[in-house]
Amino acid sequence: MVFLESVVKIYKKVRLETPILIEGLPGTGFVANICAISLVDALRAKKMGEIMSPYFTSLATTETNGKIRTVRNELYYWKAPHGSHDLAILYGNAQAINTYGQYELCSKIISYLQEIDCRFVITVGGIKKDRVFSPPRLYITATDAETLNNLRKHGLNIIQGHLYGATGLLLGLAKLRGLRGCCISVETQGTRPDILAAKEVLKLLENIVGIKINHNKIEKAAKKLEPLII
């Protein structure tokens, strides 16, 4: 099958209660990747679909068992046990390779989120710094003043500057399409998968989303990225 445009393929249709999307695509320090795969493992989130796109890097990677793995994004879900917000988790080993592809891909993702009545989007990113504080400092921005003010109660800094790739575009398109959301960024040197930076983001996610995860498993989850990093 040849994909001439990005396609969201849903293998398991589930009813989610006002889900929140957490984006976890590769970027600076692979912070979003580590957060997403840690959430999938810790919450035992289940896979509901994949996203294929002709705008992904034109290659495939081999796994340790010799099988081929294509470049893809994956969608997982987790149902909250006490009737609060369910989660949709976007995880993948690539972003689109050009501007048109980013817009086309992110637009398809937002359209699917509207189908499942997702009204809030959280994107995650790393901010490259030569000097990183201990613990790494967190930065935020949001689609609206109410969300921003609620987040600032956690003592966070406001992002100044640009948000590149899906981290910024998903949030921007979400706002245009009537969804709310925020971006959580953390300082990182960005030269390797930054587990410490990811831990700080996960701590904040626990507070604002209302989840609890085992942070001792994050290193194990991060190791899964090694054969997938392009």
Residue-wise pLDDT tens digits, 166-222 = 999 999 999 999 999 999 999 999 888 898 999 999 999 998 898 888 777 666 666
Q: Number of helices and strands (H, E) in the chain?
A: 6, 11
State the pLDDT at residue 1.
57
Mean pLDDT of the residues in the chain:
89
Q: Is the pLDDT of residue 58 over 90?
A: no
**Pairwise CA distance, residues 185 & 54, whole Å:** 28
3 falls within a domain:
no
**Pairwise CA distance, residues 119 & 179, whole Å:** 5
152 falls within a domain:
yes
230 falls within a domain:
no
206 falls within a domain:
yes
**What tokens does 189 get?**
């040197």
216 falls within a domain:
yes
Q: Estimate to the nearest angstrom the gap between the alpha carbon of 70 and the chain centroid.
A: 19
- Whether 75 and 65 have beta carbons less than 8 Å apart is answered as no
13 falls within a domain:
no
Q: What is the pTM of this model?
A: 0.91
Range of the domain at 42: 21-223
State the pLDDT at residue 52.
92
Amino acid at 47: K
CATH number at 204 reads 3.40.50.10900
For the stretch 93-118, pLDDT in tens is: 899 999 999 999 999 999 999 999 99
7 falls within a domain:
no
* Count of domains for the chain: 1
Query: What are the start-end ranges of the E strands in the chain?
Result: 7-10, 20-24, 46-52, 60-62, 68-70, 73-78, 87-92, 120-128, 138-142, 157-158, 180-188
165 falls within a domain:
yes
State the pLDDT at residue 230.
45
